[in-house]
Amino acid sequence: MSWASIKEKLKSNKKEDLYECIRILLKISTNIINDPGNEKVLILKKSNATLATKVFSLKGGFECLQHMGFKEDKETLIFTSNLNNLKQVKQNIDKLKEDIDKGILEKETKETKQIVGASASTTIKNENIKKIILPPLLYFYSNSFLRYIEAQFHQALAYEDKELQERATKLIPVNKLELNATEHLRKLQTEYKKKNIPDLNISIQDMLILELLEWFKEDFFAWVDTVECSHCSGKTKSSHMSQDPKDLKYTDRVEIHKCITCGKFSPFPRYNDLNILLETRKGRCGEWAKIFTLLCRAMGWDARFIEAVDEDHVWTEVYSFSQKRWLHCDPCENICDKPLIYEAGWNKNLSYVLAFSAEEVQDVTWRYSGSHDEVRKRRKKVPESELIEAMLKLRDNRQKNLSKSKKEYLTRRTLFELAELLVERKASGEDAQSRISGAMEWKMSRCENVDYVPLVWKIRDVPEKYVTIRYSPANDSYEYLCDNKALKKTDKWTSGIYFMKDVFRKEEKDWKQVYLCRKDGSDTGVISWKFELTNKKIIDKVDLNFDYSVFESGEVKLQIIADNIHIDIQKGKTNFEIPELSGQTCFTITATMSGGKGDHKWQHAQLFRQPIDNENYPFIVKICLKDS
């Protein structure tokens, strides 16, 4: 959910309640910014009475915590975002408080209620409903897939409507975005002159694309999982699709959501009309990508609508004139130029990824996959030769009235793109990030990967004297042992962690090494493992082997935390006993990675570095038990 949508929800509360909610939210964010390695400020308990009555109970309070970067567990909320995001959200909350103090809040509420924060029954202004006449379908009557491509190709003509572009331009804070882009570009140029970074060949247009993406997600468009009940303002659940002609006035798809509290139904229209979407400014990826593509065209950029056929996701591509290539832009995620994220991070089995603009239709599947052979096996809708022939036919028909120079330019650009698509790129650890837009249940229902589900290692009904949990990054797996007998094996490093922020598993193909480290661009990376005895045993002592490597000024801070116990492990120490945990039933191991120098400083603090073919376990937790 965007800040614009959250802001509208917060503003609907009583002024005195909102003041107190803002005070608590600012305190939470300040504590994390000042001490990001402190687990106590990173985890909020749902049972906390103050949070329950002064934040959770207010409209927008819980959503604001999620926007700050907290993820929901059964009993807690865990901060998993980065500090830059949190600082931006804090600035937004500060600005909201200023608006309340200045009396701007009441004026804004009256003016914008029917746009950003409106319910599903948003009033549509008749003067903004303008039917755009599209060409008829002329080809491919016998093949439904090719006919669908032709229809989508015609739909792309809507982005060229001059009145629409003019409306869109008035909504974009161009001056603000240009100032921000110029400032960020100057910083990059300064770093380049200092030889801290290579020449990135980035233009002001490239920086503007990034600014537009951030503004679009944070301030302009709102994400909708379920609508607010139009009768009692309660939470709803998706129920069914409407067949009522009254609901289908402006669209042929209207979701009906049932209220959990009062049981009544509320509609959520899934609009396709760009004129209407410029008013409602809400929806899911389809609505987001349509309007973002329109805004890019309004900015004067070459942009096209991208659809992953059969995988239910769409986004935008924008042509970078300085880099002479198409850039992947996903407005729902505020990410740019990470095309492998869907395959590597979301578990999408891509088959056809198609690009639609007013001038061309292009098969760009190969940009979005690092496994071309696997993709080819899934492409069964039409013979490849027929697909190519169909796209050429549509393209030639659309371009027949263009000037000779324009045709030649488009042909050269297409040839360069086809050469680029021939190269199979492999995903890195940074491509394996999960989707951030949408509720957890919705993402999981789509089988899209999430970063991790917090896990507590429960030690129950163990007659033996000790248990061991160990992890190998080379095998990327955990083992659970009782007296050296393996009882359980779990794959993937995220499957055994309790908390993580800005950490990923890095494989160095050239050096053939593997380890955990913080993500590029993050000042710190934090990871925790939690262990809990649930039987009549207590801890006698804990033996810990925790290998890590640091380079340049990189630093790893290791802490052991239990009830009333906080142990900072001496720097450089990787193998030790922890007798202080004697008598405890629960403890957490937390590692914070920071420091380093230069462009690769994120690699200068590494956990569990080992050769890819190594069978050792550089992370071993041996818990010795005794009767309580």
Catalytic residue among 21, 64, 259, 285: 285
Tell me, yes or no, if 313 is annotated catalytic: yes
Which residue is catalytic, options 330, 431, 502, 547? 330
pLDDT digits (tens, 9 = 90+) for 227-242: 889 888 888 998 999 9
State residue 469's pLDDT score: 96
- Active-site hit among 257, 313, 328, 604: 313
pLDDT classification of 158: cutoffs 50, 70, 90? very high
Q: Name the band, by pLDDT with cuts 50, 70 and 90, for residue 441.
A: low
**CB of 367 closer than 8 Å to CB of 358:** no
Contact 451, 237 (CB under 8 A): no
Band (462; pLDDT cuts 50, 70, 90): low
Pairing between strand 485-491 and 477-482? antiparallel
What pLDDT sits at residue 118?
34
Question: Can you count the helices (H) and strands (E) in the chain?
Answer: 18, 30
Identity at 70, one-letter amino acid code: F
CA angle (7, 11, 14) in 5-degree steps = 150
For the chain, which residues make up each domain, given as ranges?
A: 3-112, 126-430, 456-627
Lowest mean pLDDT among 21-35, 50-64, 183-197, 356-370: 183-197
Q: What is the pLDDT of residues 380-394, one digit of tens each?
A: 999 999 999 999 999
Q: Which of 40-49, 259-268, 587-596 has the lowest mean pLDDT?
A: 40-49
Residue 330 annotated in active site? yes
Record the pTM: 0.60
In whole angstroms, give the CA distance from residue 224 to residue 295. Answer: 20
What confidence score (pLDDT) does residue 452 get?
Answer: 66
Quick one: average pLDDT of 476-488? Answer: 86
**Rounded distance between C-alpha atoms, residue 133 and residue 154, angstroms:** 10
Question: What pLDDT is stored for residue 111 in this prediction?
Answer: 36
Which pLDDT value is given to residue 140?
Answer: 87
Better-predicted residue by pLDDT, 536 or 545? 545
Please determine, looking at this structure, whether the domain spanning 3-112 carries the CATH number 3.40.50.2300.
no
**Which pLDDT value is given to residue 107?**
43
Q: DSSP assignment, residue 370? A: S
User: Is the confidence at residue 119, as pLDDT, over 50?
Assistant: no
% pLDDT > 90, the chain: 54
CB neighbours of 297 closer than 8 A, spacing ≥ 6?
A: 159, 160, 165, 168, 303
In degrees, to the nearest 5, what angle opens at C-alpha 376 toward C-alphas 370 and 382? 140
Q: What is the pLDDT of residue 442?
A: 57
Architecture of domain 456-627: Sandwich (2.60)
Is pLDDT at 321 greater than 90 in this prediction?
yes
How much is the CA Rg of the chain, to the nearest whole Å? 27
Class of domain 126-430: alpha beta
285 is written with which tokens? 């990826």
Maximum Cα–Cα distance for the chain, whole Å?
A: 87
Q: What is the mean pLDDT of the chain?
A: 87
Share of the chain above pLDDT 70, in %: 91
